[in-house]
Structure 1
């Protein structure tokens, strides 16, 4: 990798953590300069604006979390286990989140819904990417005979992702992982008693 590419990647990685913790509005170019150790001119050699940095930073953070989801899912054989793997990625969201500051999609969506159309679009795209991953797992579970044939994959994916994101938000707000753990246990119970073919 060329020096210029390494510098650009360094700016993105450092900025991703800042944006995910402080938000777009709460992050200034001076914050990025301070955290990267790169002067303003150096930043502008690689990016035209704070907006461009924020979009690239979101892509980086989201891809990192997506990779951790994929890694956790790949370790499971059953469809139920694969769905619950999403929750395990965030089981210690208070002290050890998969990316500093919590869920990039959630943080970005909450801040940008009425303020930054491009960032909001990225978060919305992330939502659909994760929902599609879950729906694919559910459909595979139906085909394999693990889940009931009449199971609505859209509804179950939406329910699962709502529990996941709600658990992240409540745990962060309360400073206690119990909300994520309770949501995980509740979802496991629901899968066992309402979704399995022989339940």
Structure 2
């Protein structure tokens, strides 16, 4: 049985959910309190009763967005058996980046990292922490593949995890820009070929 939220908690979550979509589509700098009011249907007082500032809303909205992304990633990984399959299904989280991203507006990690790089150090730190968490997940998958004997022991775990994450984020950007998911599919296909070349015994 799910936890029942009180009215105040429901309002707070409503603000976070709507702001997460707003920030991911229009960016933090491009979204005003008036935009949040319009998206939520709340007056300014209703927003400031729950949050001290737009910065606080942005921080919690980013946490909410990346939690959705993490949940989608966990489900994808559960559907795969081998380490190679697990590295490939990471791309399936955004297989329909154009029409059905986990969060409206694309990848919250990519969007926040680009926007906050020089202008919002707190959000940048949040994005960096999430990126490192995702890199650790990928590194663990690769290491499991080496230890199980599926992958060769000379694989560069750290650099390969960087390649996989960077390739996926670039593919998301290209697919959304072109409004064509083939960029995700291309990258997944080439990664598959690369990983097969590192199977143990080859």
Bin of the TM-score, shorter chain as denominator length:
over 0.9
- The reply to whether residue 186 of structure 1 matches residue 190 of structure 2 is yes
2:200 aligns with 197
1:123 aligns with 127
SS of 2:49 mapped into structure 1: helix
Runs of 5+ in structure 1 lacking a partner? none
**1:60-99 mapped onto 2 (5 Å cutoff):** 60-99=64-103
SS of 1:46 mapped into structure 2: coil
Moved over 2 A (4+): none
**1:25-104 mapped onto 2 (5 Å cutoff):** 25-104=29-108
Runs of 5+ in structure 2 lacking a partner? none
Structure 2 CA distance for aligned equivalents of residues 162 and 109 of structure 1: 12
Structure 2 CA distance for aligned equivalents of residues 196 and 162 of structure 1: 22
Structure 1 CA distance for aligned equivalents of residues 89 and 185 of structure 2: 13
Structure 1 CA distance for aligned equivalents of residues 52 and 76 of structure 2: 36
SS of 1:38 mapped into structure 2: coil
1:109 aligns with 113
Structure 1 CA distance for aligned equivalents of residues 133 and 199 of structure 2: 25
**1:145-164 mapped onto 2 (5 Å cutoff):** 145-164=149-168
The two structures have a TM-score, normalised by structure 2, of 0.96
**1:135-174 mapped onto 2 (5 Å cutoff):** 135-174=139-178
SS of 2:106 mapped into structure 1: coil
Structure 1 CA distance for aligned equivalents of residues 105 and 159 of structure 2: 29
1:24 aligns with 28
Once the 2 structures are TM-superposed, how far is the Cα of residue 85 of structure 1 from its aligned partner?
A: 1.1
Deviations 1:106-134 (A, max 9, x none): 00000110000001111111110100000
- The reply to whether residue 176 of structure 1 matches residue 180 of structure 2 is yes
**Residue-pair matches, total:** 198
